[in-house]
Amino acid sequence: MDHQAVLALYDRDMREGARPDGPGARVERVGGVVRQVAGAEGWNAVLWSDLDETTADGAIAEQIDHFGGLGLEFEWKLYGHDLPCDLGARLVAAGLRPEPKETLMIAEAAGQTVDRAELPDGVRVVPATDAAGVDLVVDVHEKAFGTDGSRLRHRLLAQLAERPDTVVAVVALAGDEPVSAARMELVPGTRFAGLWGGGTVEGWRGRGVYRALVAHRARVAADHGYRYLQVDALPMSRPILERLGFHALSTTTPYVYAP
């Protein structure tokens, strides 16, 4: 894999040329910034920027004014290769709060190493295509990450109702107990499928369930003609993904502003 070429393709298609990620969202291009506005129930974010030392502070202030005027919290999704080099410090100085850094990782969807994962005995993967399935995904999310899943529930239900061809949600069941869940965003017109929300409840970690859900989604992505899988990996999942053939191309840090 040519890391620089794939990173440039990712920046062009998934950030600068971003599409709305759900019903009701819109992408706006204002000056040197591409942002998504999705309302109180959606993800509001700065996705890409083309800034330098002379334009960065003004662009940050404009985003704060814009989202603040709408009464919306927003995230500035800063990548490790974004400019200017001190953009993170400028965001903090403007009142944004950094969250844990993640690693942007990419793999070929048809990679053999991704395709070999197997489920533990007694565990099966089922698609989440209705409200009952979404409830299982949200139940795992809340148990695995300890965070409220209301926004995730709203988003998945809206996507499944209005844009079912752009999302794949799956749950791993041990008997009738949901033990792991994940989703995949399929972005039409690009070569990237995004893997999101992969979480496993305590007691089932380290048994190959997470790897199996990656493999399941990789097969679906390849069947739909997507070449690359993309993950924003936390430290817990990065070693697993590296063993599956994913490559670290950059970092990404969410900087959050709450009006």
pLDDT of residue 41: 86
Spell out a b/e string for 27-48, using b for 16 or more CB atoms within 10 Å of the CB, else e.
Answer: beeeeebbbbbbeeebbbbbbb
pLDDT in tens, 7-19: 999 999 999 999 9
Q: How far apart are CA 229 and CA 222, in angstroms?
A: 9
pLDDT of residue 23: 83
Nearest to 159 by CA among 149, 168, 147: 168
Count of other CB atoms within 10 angstroms of residue 243: 11
Per-chain mean pLDDT for the chain: 94
pLDDT of residue 126: 95
114: pLDDT strictly greater than 60 = no
pLDDT in tens, 162-185: 999 999 999 999 999 999 999 999
- State the number of CA atoms in the 13 A half-sphere of 255 facing the CB: 21
pLDDT in tens, 33-44: 999 999 998 999
More confident residue, 258 or 41: 258
Contact 156, 164 (CB under 8 A): no
Task: Quote the strand ranges of the chain, DSSP E.
Answer: 26-30, 33-37, 45-49, 74-79, 97-98, 102-108, 123-127, 167-174, 177-186, 192-200, 228-233, 247-257
pLDDT of residue 22: 83
3-state secondary structure of 203: coil
Q: Residue 112 — very low, low, confident or very high, per pLDDT cuts 50/70/90?
A: very low
Nearest to 21 by CA among 133, 120, 135, 158: 158
117: pLDDT strictly greater than 70 = no
Q: Residue 236 — very low, low, confident or very high, per pLDDT cuts 50/70/90?
A: confident
pTM: 0.92
DSSP per-residue codes, 212-251: HHHHHHHHHHHHTT--EEEEEE-TTTHHHHHHTT-EEEEE
> If you average pLDDT over residues 119-137, what whole number do you get?
95
Q: Residue 116 — very low, low, confident or very high, per pLDDT cuts 50/70/90?
A: low
152: pLDDT strictly greater than 70 = yes
Question: What is the location of CATH 3.40.630.30 in the chain?
Answer: 110-226
Distances from the Cα of 105 to the Cαs of 36, 50, 99, 145, 156, in angstroms?
Answer: 22, 22, 18, 20, 23
Whole-number percent of the chain with pLDDT over 70: 98
Rg (CA), the chain: 18
3-state secondary structure of 9: helix
Pairing assessment for the beta strands 167-174 and 123-127 based on DSSP bridges: antiparallel
> If you average pLDDT over residues 204-219, what whole number do you get?
92
Q: How far apart are CA 65 and CA 84, in angstroms?
A: 21
Is 110-226 in CATH node 3.40.630.30?
A: yes
